[in-house]
Amino acid sequence: MNKLEQEILALLKTNARIASSDIARLVKSDEKAVNKIISKLEKSGIIVKYATIINDEKTPEFKDTVRALIEVQVQPQKNTGFDAIAKRICNYDNVVDHYLISGRYDFLIIVEGSSLQDISQFVSEKLAPIDHVKSTTTHFMMKKYKQDGMIFENTSELSRLAVSA
């Protein structure tokens, strides 16, 4: 990937709605060339999706959505390693993100549900019974302070309480 493509990606990562004319001006190129590069990056799968960061707490639907981080320990399968198990987990609709991680657990998945019970049911009826899943640990998300580099309001006003002995 050349320097111009990297600069364009950096600008799009910061603001996916930036106009190609503005990108062209910032990278000192012409708009036609920028559009061609963006199209190439989309077709090659480097740019997968354009997304919006939403402050869920300001939407009415927030009260109806629960998110959890689930650590999953698995026994890798012969010939496919983690991939076959990961593919199966990824196919569940309520799995939002799925990562292979280092450390005590193998996978970190982020799931959404309509309630704590909904997520609990997902873990006990769908995730835990999968062959080669050894254990799970679920952490429920209580509040979001920062996402994808974006700090949500009032976070800057937070200060640590004094610790006294």
Contact 123, 69 (CB under 8 A): no
More confident residue, 126 or 52: 126
- Sign of the torsion formed by the C-alpha atoms of 143, 147, 152 and 154: positive
Pick the CATH number of 56-147 from 2.60.120.620, 3.30.70.920, 3.40.640.10, 3.30.43.10: 3.30.70.920
Start-end of CATH 1.10.10 domains in the chain? 3-43
For residue 47, count CB atoms less than 10 angstroms from its CB and return exposed for 0-12, middle for 13-18, buried for 19 or more.
Answer: middle
Residue 26 pLDDT > 70, yes or no? yes
Of 107, 139, 111, whose CA–CA distance to 125 is shortest?
111
- Note the pLDDT of residue 17: 93
Q: Residue 159's pLDDT band (boundaries 50, 70, 90)?
A: low
Look at the pTM and tell me if it is higher than 0.85.
no
Pick the CATH number of 3-43 from 1.10.10, 2.60.290, 1.20.81, 1.10.1740: 1.10.10
Start-end of CATH 3.30.70.920 domains in the chain? 56-147
For residue range 36-53, list pLDDT tens digits in order: 999 999 999 999 999 888
- CA–CA distance from 61 to each of 14, 22, 93, 159 (Å)? 26, 34, 18, 29
Residue 158 pLDDT > 70, yes or no? no
Residue 156 pLDDT > 60, yes or no? no
For residue range 64-73, list pLDDT tens digits in order: 789 999 999 9
**What mean pLDDT comes out for the span 50-78?**
86
